[in-house]
């Protein structure tokens, strides 16, 4: 009698927040408090591979973002209206800022991701 091994089927892929259109990130107290008070409605992140993966290489569109106030248990969740790729240029003389938008598909050195916040949901 042969000892037959039974094949186990692969475990179903666990759903992750990235697949569900939801990400989590930590903010410094100052920026968390600005968003909490409604004074800051756009969160900026550097256009680096880590954020490209989280914001662009997704199975589902980004719908929600949860912010942590530093490394505390205080959290808040917002809907996401959209994500844009921007470059911010500052006039040295007047300190005026000029924003240039680029397609999300095109990486341009020196750009930022702008995550536009909608309504607070948690």
- Count how many residues are written for the chain: 122
Whether the predicted pLDDT of 66 surpasses 90? yes
pLDDT band for position 117 (cuts 50, 70, 90): very high
Q: Ranked by mean pLDDT, which of 47-56, 62-71, 104-113 comes out on top?
A: 62-71
Greater confidence (31 vs 60) lies with: 31
Q: Which residue has the tokens 């408090």?
A: 33
Report pTM. 0.79
CATH of the domain at 78: 2.30.130.30
Q: How confident is the model at residue 32, as a pLDDT?
A: 98
Query: Residue 110 domain-assigned?
Result: yes
pLDDT digits (tens, 9 = 90+) for 1-47: 555 554 444 444 444 555 588 999 999 999 999 999 999 999 999 99
- Single out the residue of 31, 43, 44, 27 nearest to residue 110, CA to CA: 44
Q: Is 112 a residue whose pLDDT tops 60?
A: yes
Query: Nearest-5° angle of CA 109, CA 111, CA 112?
Result: 145
> In this structure, is residue 64 part of a structural domain?
yes
In the prediction, which pLDDT does 72 show?
96
Query: Nearest-5° angle of CA 56, CA 59, CA 64?
Result: 70
Q: Which domain holds residue 31?
A: 22-120
Q: Is 8 domain-assigned?
A: no
Residue 7 lies in a domain: no
Q: Residue 1 falls within a domain, yes or no?
A: no
pLDDT for 16: 54
4 in any annotated domain: no
Assigned domain for 6 exists: no
Q: How many folded domains does the chain comprise?
A: 1
Domain assignment present for residue 9? The answer is no
């Amino acid at each position: 009698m042969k000892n037959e091994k039974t094949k186990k089927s692969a475990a179903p892929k666990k759903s992750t927040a990235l697949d569900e259109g939801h990400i989590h990130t930590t903010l410094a107290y100052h920026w968390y408090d600005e968003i909490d008070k409604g004074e800051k409605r756009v969160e900026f992140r550097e256009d680096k591979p880590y954020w490209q993966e989280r914001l662009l290489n997704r199975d589902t569109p980004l719908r929600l973002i949860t912010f942590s106030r530093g490394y505390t248990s205080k959290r808040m969740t917002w809907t996401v209206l959209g994500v844009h790729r921007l470059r911010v240029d500052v006039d040295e003389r007047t300190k005026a800022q000029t924003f240039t938008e680029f397609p999300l598909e095109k990486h341009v050195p020196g750009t930022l991701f702008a995550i536009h916040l909608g309504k607070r949901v948690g």
